[in-house]
């Protein structure tokens, strides 16, 4: 029987790569994103790869929209097997905390923390069966912190705390909760840091595997965490960063 996977923020980057990875396994994939045009393209590609797709334009800051997306996905496909709370943003400007506008700070907090909490809140009733799972998305910067990344780092640290709390809260029901923490991954978001810079010297100095990661490599971790092969894994933060967390420096960025 095909699994049903729900992914927020799935019209680009890691969310999109994960949606396609599940599609290749024949999954039912419910996806959300703010842009309807990108969502329809993503849904079409999911179908092309052998999965079933359902898309709804959703702003995860809006409780009503989040509930409508999750309830709609459950109506379309039935009970959910896994929920991936991938939707997240960074401030539009790479600046010290004291120089960011309050509006920019609020937008990141509301998307990354409120959006994640709302998604879990509305999804849990549809996950109440053994074997179901929730996957949060953190970041290397949520684990280590990073200069010019104070707000983003704080929100991703919150995702890790929520992962552990829900793993305890839901464990007796057989629902597993884990988190994936990517490092530098080739996405539109990371391009803001890397564009126009000679990054190879940075990879050589700070990443044991000496390269940037690909979104599909993070998707592989998502596949494993939703599979029977990880059935005794919960409350864990799986770092996918080429080893950067053990050889960490932000010098030169």
pLDDT tens-digit map of 11-55: 999 999 999 999 999 999 999 999 999 999 999 999 999 999 999
Q: Is residue 252 part of a domain?
A: no
Q: By CB neighbour count within 10 A (0-12 exposed, 13-18 middle, 19+ buried), where does 143 fall?
A: buried
Q: Which helix (H) or strand (E) holds 82?
A: strand 82-85
Asked if residue 52 is part of any domain, the answer here is yes
Residue 221 structural domain: 4-244
Q: What span, in angstroms and rounded, lies between the C-alpha atoms of 34 and 136? A: 19
- What's the pTM value of the predicted model, to 2 decimals? 0.94
Q: Residues, the chain, total?
A: 253
The answer as to whether 253 is a domain residue is no
pLDDT at 116: 99
Domain CATH number, residue 174: 3.40.50.720
pLDDT of residue 88: 97
Q: What is the pLDDT of residue 159?
A: 98
The per-residue pLDDT of the chain, averaged, comes to 94
Q: Which one-letter DSSP state was computed for residue 129?
A: S
DSSP states of 136-161:
EE--HHHHH--TT-HHHHHHHHHHHH
Nearest to 129 by CA among 71, 69, 80: 80
On whether residue 131 sits in a domain, the answer given is yes
Count of the separate structural domains present in the chain: 1
Q: Is 249 domain-assigned?
A: no
In 171-230, alpha helices (H): 188-194, 200-206, 215-225
* Residue-wise pLDDT tens digits, 51-86: 999 999 999 999 999 999 999 999 999 999 999 999
**Within-domain flag for 251:** no
250 inside domain: no
Q: What percent of the chain has pLDDT over 70?
A: 97
Residues with catalytic roles: 152
Q: Tell me whether residue 59 is in a domain.
A: yes
Least confident of 90-99, 197-206, 225-234: 197-206
pLDDT tens for 97-143 read 999 999 999 999 999 999 999 999 999 999 988 899 999 999 999 98
d(CA 183, CA 114): 23
Give residue 248's pLDDT.
61
d(CA 134, CA 85): 8
């Amino acid at each position: 029987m095909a699994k049903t996977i729900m992914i927020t923020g799935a019209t680009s980057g890691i969310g999109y790569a994960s949606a396609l990875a599940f599609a290749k396994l024949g999954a039912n994939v419910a996806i959300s994103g703010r842009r309807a045009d990108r969502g329809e393209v993503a849904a079409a590609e999911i179908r092309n790869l052998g999965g079933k797709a359902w898309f709804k334009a959703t702003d995860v800051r809006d409780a009503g929209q989040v509930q409508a997306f999750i309830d709609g996905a459950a109506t379309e496909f039935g009970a959910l097997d896994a929920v991936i709370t991938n939707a997240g943003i960074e401030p539009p400007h790479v600046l010290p905390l004291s120089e960011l506008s309050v509006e920019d700070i609020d937008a990141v907090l509301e998307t990354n923390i409120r959006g994640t909490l709302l998604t879990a809140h509305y999804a849990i009733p549809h996950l109440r069966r053994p074997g179901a799972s929730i996957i949060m998305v953190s970041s290397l910067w949520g684990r280590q912190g990073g200069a010019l990344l104070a707000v983003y780092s704080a929100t991703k640290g919150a995702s890790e705390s929520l992962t552990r709390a829900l793993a305890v809260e839901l464990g007796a029901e057989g629902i597993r909760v884990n988190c994936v923490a990517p490092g530098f991954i080739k996405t539109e978001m990371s391009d803001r840091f890397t564009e126009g810079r000679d990054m190879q010297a940075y990879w050589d100095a700070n990443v044991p595997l000496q390269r940037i990661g690909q979104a599909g490599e993070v998707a592989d971790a998502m596949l494993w965490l939703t599979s029977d092969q990880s059935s005794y894994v919960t409350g864990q933060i799986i770092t996918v960063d080429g080893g950067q967390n053990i050889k960490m420096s932000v010098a030169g960025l």
